[in-house]
Amino acid sequence: MEMASLIGGLIIFLYAIRRLSKILQNIFTAKAQLIISRYTRNIFSSITIGIIVTIALDSSSAVIIIAIILINAGSLNFKQVMGIIMGANIGTTFSSQLIALNISKYAVIPLFIGFFIWLFSHSSKFKKVGQIMMYFGLLFFGLYLLELSVSPLKENEVFVKWMLQLNNPLKGAAIGGLVTLIIQSSSATLGMLITFAKQHLIDLYGAIAIMLGAELGTCADTLIAVIGGKRDAIRAGVFHLLFNLIPIIIGLTTFNYFIEFIEWLSPKATIHRQIANGHVLFSILSVLLFVPFINKIYYMIIWLIPDKKSG
């Protein structure tokens, strides 16, 4: 029974994340493209727009892919997209903060209200509002089922031994990257981590290691999207990879200090809250690491990937 609830909860959660992201993109993509192309004149405005649009679309991959499309359309250049990529990494932490709130047991409320609006409204706009509420409800209902189903795993010796192995940062990061690559969503990976933490199935060491790997796994969509694109699009894909890879390497080499810093910032917080806070902290520190060197990185990548020679 627990296995059925576990699989069912996971499927509902992943389905809700995909559908929610899709419907938000359908509603906001045209506006997002306009905002991205109009308000990204310097690196700081680009970062800000990246944060705002990622929160609105609930997907950093979607925002970065939109930016690449705009590069290929000639509406954006590589330097503008560098800021958008950095902002998108911060914006995606909003969902982990939301999931860390203990509201899963109230999932039936938006589910019921959204279904009622969708069923009885004759306005297409209100029907979309109802769908968004339903998918939010489904997302948290899936997490609620996961919480209930994983609780008995605390008594499973094999599972406990396997989870303890994740305290090795490299193993944890490798698993985080693989899981994110398979399910194509770092938000979903973080959601499952936070759910496990709520049931005391994973500690902060293992969770942060997996989180670091998830940050790298999310680069796959971008690298696929730049295939066959303009030079600036390929440069954006390389920058996205470097922007994730370099902070991950630094995070792994200073792993214990990073954990101590998270605990120092939120000493009284629960583990699942610390995971969400660690996600925010890592993204902000990554941006702070790159911003002072952004011009040097820009010229380095142009040197590595020069324009095609004419003729």
> pLDDT band at 186, cuts 50/70/90?
confident
Average pLDDT for residues 110-115, to the nearest whole number?
Answer: 85
Kindly report the average pLDDT of the chain as a whole number: 82
Q: What is the pLDDT of residues 79-95, one digit of tens each?
A: 888 999 999 999 988 88
Q: What is the pLDDT of residues 189-222, one digit of tens each?
A: 888 888 888 878 888 988 999 999 888 888 877 7
Cα 194 to Cα 57, 104, 149, 270, 291: the distances in Å are 21, 12, 14, 10, 30
pLDDT at position 53: 85
Task: State in Å, rounded, how far the first CA of the chain is from the last one.
Answer: 66
pLDDT at position 85: 93
Are 50 and 90 in contact, with CB atoms under 8 Å apart? yes
pLDDT at position 263: 92
Tell me the C-alpha distance between 185 and 203, whole Å: 22
Average pLDDT for residues 283-303, to the nearest whole number?
Answer: 94
Tell me the C-alpha distance between 202 and 166, whole Å: 9
pLDDT at position 240: 92
pLDDT at position 298: 93
Q: Which residue ranges make up each domain of the chain?
A: 2-304
pLDDT at position 151: 65
292: tokens are: 């002072």
Percent of the chain with pLDDT over 90: 25
Are 173 and 210 in contact, with CB atoms under 8 Å apart? yes
Contacts of 83 (CB under 8 A, 6+ apart): 40, 42, 43, 44, 45, 46, 47, 49, 50
Average pLDDT for residues 167-192, to the nearest whole number?
Answer: 81
pLDDT at position 247: 94
pLDDT at position 242: 94
Q: What is the pLDDT of residues 16-47, one digit of tens each?
A: 777 777 777 676 666 777 777 777 778 888 89
pLDDT of residue 100 exceeding 70, the answer is yes
Average pLDDT for residues 217-229, to the nearest whole number?
Answer: 80
- The pTM is what? 0.82
Are 173 and 248 in contact, with CB atoms under 8 Å apart? yes
pLDDT at position 161: 64
- Which of 103-107, 144-148, 252-256 has the highest average model confidence (pLDDT)? 252-256
> pLDDT band at 176, cuts 50/70/90?
confident
Choose between 223 and 299: higher pLDDT: 299
Q: What is the dihedral of CA 145, 116, 124, 38, to 10 degrees?
A: -50
Q: What is the pLDDT of residues 233-272, one digit of tens each?
A: 899 999 999 999 999 999 999 999 999 999 999 888 888 8
> pLDDT band at 307, cuts 50/70/90?
confident
pLDDT at position 55: 86
263: tokens are: 């605990």
